[in-house]
Amino acid sequence: MDLINITACDREPIHIPGAIQPHGLLLVADRASLSVNMAAGDIEGRLGAGDWLFRPLSDFIGVALAARAAGAPEGPAGLFLGRIETAGAERLDVSVHATADALFVEFEPASTDPSPAAFVLSELEAATTEFQNTDNIQELCDVAAKKFRALTGFDRVMVYRFLDDESGRVVAESRREDLGSFLHHHFPASDIPRQARALYVRNLVRTIPTIDYQAAPLRPPGPAAALDMSDCALRSVSPIHLQYLRNMGVCASASVSIVTGGRLWGLIACHNMQPLGLPHDARSVCRALAVALAQQIKAREERETYREQMRLTNLSAGLVEVLAREGPLHEAVSNHLAELARMLRSDGVAILRGSDLIASGEGPKNQEISALARWIASRGKTSFSTDRLAQLYPEAAAYRARASGVAAAVLSFEEPWLILWFRAEKIEIVKWAGNPHKDAQAGAAGELTPRASFEMWSETVLGRARDWSLAEIEAAGRLASAVLEARQNWRVRDLNRRL
Ligand code: BLA
């Protein structure tokens, strides 16, 4: 049931809702003729244009803005055209983005407090410097939550980070003190379905000024129903998501993508308990700040990976010669097992060479190690790693507590010769926000409804160890190759000596 519903979530065509959120207005013009051929929202009432179909764009925004609109580059970024005052004294921000054959002109309530560019730029610079001055990713995210809250004025601002399985976790939060906290809460992947995540890599900011709105349909109805609105700021939002926010007790939402290396690393998720929008200029600042944040995250992740690689290289250098030594293992390597364990931050290690076995620290019993090593070697690959051994090798359930994680390097399949590292099971209490196993329930009429409960849900994940990093797995492989190479060199030297 979960599977069916989650794929249904992934399939909802959110880019063609056929409607906008009614706080704004939309005109769609043919890119060649600049005549308006679709519209949404109260064009008649707010722009005083009863008869809008096939009128030139300049009738609505003037010749100068229409000329600027015509020059908009194709793509999601778009241009800010300016601010207009309607006959009804409403001040509207006008922006445009272009596709191959259409211009999308959007009107939104103008920001009440437009800051001068110099002020905004200096704020951005100051925030970027603060980002740079943090010591690690956690501190960086804490500062980011505060900055985005100050910038947007939302009641609760969170840094939401995607994990390997596309579920996510709130890693930092700044909120009004009287509100509940979502810090450290875990949310299933289906809360932000795949097509939404793909859209959010391409266009970085979205806003829902109020969840209680009546969608304004695109007109005329025929072709408008299939119009791709991927990059419209006013795009009407999935009703499932609106219900989700309602269940969360949220009235207005905005989110900003954090994209590193073309991948959605996370989101800045903003909640407000009263209606609140994010005007065009504030969205631009959010985008710039999110790009600065993403750069800092990437730089820090790269620095951490580099440091880890250096550590691994230094530790393994001293071990190569020891591991390559001939003779019984207890004579050759017994004094170095702790070092070997430290190298991969493991709880225990073992080396098996033929019928000789040596082990130290936490891990399976010797007989169990021999059987496991034979199974690993039988897979025919020189390296192996898992953070949940019993799922692949059921016999390991018996020693789950001592070794749920295993990394191994196979130096010889024939002897066999293996180095194994073990990690104990980690007992982790995951705070799921709502029961993830009931994430999409069918409503009375069979339609999908998001989880109705945001009660915190705790779950203990059994049979899992801390996962092995790519740097650790690679280092294990490099260590094995270096040992084999050292041994080969000695053999050649030995042979030369004897000849
Ligand atoms: C969209 N879901 C979203 C968005 C967020 C979340 C941030 C982006 C839209 C926005 O800015 O509001 C999820 N919001 C969260 C999470 C937190 C938060 C995890 O504040 C944590 C603090 N949602 C479901 C289920 C479905 C679903 C079961 O829970 C599908 C059946 C759908 N979520 C869904 C859809 C969208 C969405 C379709 C896209 C909305 C759109 O852009 O039209």
The alpha carbon of 73 and the centre of ligand 1 are apart by a number of angstroms equal to: 30
- pLDDT higher than 70, residue 1: no
Question: What is the average pLDDT across 81-102?
Answer: 94
Strands (E), 163-261: 168-175, 186-187, 205-208, 216-219, 252-260
Tell me the mean pLDDT in the region 219-248: 91
pLDDT band of residue 133 (cuts 50, 70, 90) is: very high
CA atoms lying within 13 Å on the CB side of residue 204? 23
Could you tell me if the CB of 182 is within 6 A of ligand 1? Answer: yes
Percent of the chain predicted with pLDDT > 90: 73
436 lines ligand 1 (CB under 6 A): no
Q: Is 3 within 8 Å of 190 (Cβ atoms)?
A: no
Q: Which fold has domain 325-425+464-498?
A: Beta-Lactamase (3.30.450)
Count of other CB atoms within 10 angstroms of residue 171: 18
pLDDT, position 119:
84
Q: Tell which atom from ligand 1 comes closest to the C-alpha of 237.
A: 43
Band (4; pLDDT cuts 50, 70, 90): very low
CA 197 to ligand 1 centroid distance, Å? 9
- Characterise 18 by phi-psi region: left (phi > 0), alpha (psi -120 to 50), beta (else): left
For ligand 1, the distance from its centroid to the CA atom of residue 123, given in whole angstroms, is 30
Tokens of 398: 């018996």
Does position 82 have pLDDT exceeding 70, yes or no?
yes
Tell me what pLDDT residue 494 has. Answer: 83
Is residue 434 within 6 Å of ligand 1 at its C-beta?
Answer: no
- Is a pLDDT exceeding 60 seen at residue 99? yes
Residue with CA at minimum distance from ligand 1 atom 2: 192
- Is the shortest distance between the CB of 244 and ligand 1 below 6 Å? yes
The per-residue pLDDT for 103 is 97
Q: What average pLDDT score do residues 378-400 get?
A: 96
**Distance (Å, whole) CA 191 – CA 198:** 14
| Residue 438 alpha carbon to ligand 1 centre in Å | 16
Lowest mean pLDDT among 24-38, 140-154, 184-198: 184-198
Distance 241 CA to ligand 1 centre (A): 5
Residue 114 pLDDT exceeds 70? no
Instruction: Judge whether 84 and 66 are in contact, CB under 8 Å.
Output: no
The per-residue pLDDT for 337 is: 94
Q: Which carries the bigger pLDDT value, residue 426 or residue 3?
A: 426
pLDDT-derived band at 462, boundaries 50, 70, 90: confident
**Pocket of ligand 1 contains residue 205 by CB under 6 Å:** no
Nearest CA to ligand 1 atom 27: 191
Return the pLDDT at 446: 55
Does ligand 1 have an atom closer than 6 angstroms to the CB of 476?
A: no
Is the CB–ligand 1 distance for residue 243 below 6 Å?
A: no
> In angstroms, rounded to a whole number, what is the distance separating the alpha carbons of residues 200 and 191?
14
What residue spans in the chain does CATH classification 3.30.450.40 cover? Answer: 2-9+112-302
Residue with CA closest to ligand 1 atom 5: 192
Ranges of CATH 3.30.450.270 domains, the chain: 325-425+464-498
CA distance 190 to 6: 6
CA-CA-CA-CA torsion for 241, 244, 245, 247, nearest 10 degrees? 160
What is the second-level CATH architecture of the domain 2-9+112-302?
2-Layer Sandwich (3.30)
Judged against a pLDDT cut of 70, whether residue 6 lies above it is answered with no
Average pLDDT for residues 221-225, to the nearest whole number?
79
Asked if the model's pLDDT at residue 104 lies above 90, the reply is yes
Residue 432 Cβ < 6 Å to ligand 1: no
- Which residue's alpha carbon is nearest to atom 18 within ligand 1? 269
Phi then psi for 132, rounded to 5 degrees? -65, -30
pLDDT of residue 3: 44
Contact 267, 200 (CB under 8 A): yes
| 240 ligand 1 Cβ < 6 A | yes
Specify the pLDDT at position 439: 64
pLDDT score of 9: 80
Query: What DSSP string runs through 243-300?
Result: HHHHHTT-SEEEEEEEEETTEEEEEEEEEESS-----HHHHHHHHHHHHHHHHHHHHH
Is the ipTM, as predicted for this complex, more than 0.95?
yes
Give residue 43 CA to ligand 1 midpoint distance, Å.
29
Phi, psi of 175, rounded to the nearest 5 degrees: -145, 160
pLDDT attached to residue 377: 96
Structure tokens at 387: 């953070």
Residue bearing the CA closest to ligand 1, atom 29: 191
CA–CA distance, 410 with 402 (Å, rounded to integer): 21
pLDDT digits (tens, 9 = 90+) for 279-325: 999 999 999 999 999 999 999 999 988 998 999 999 888 899 899 98
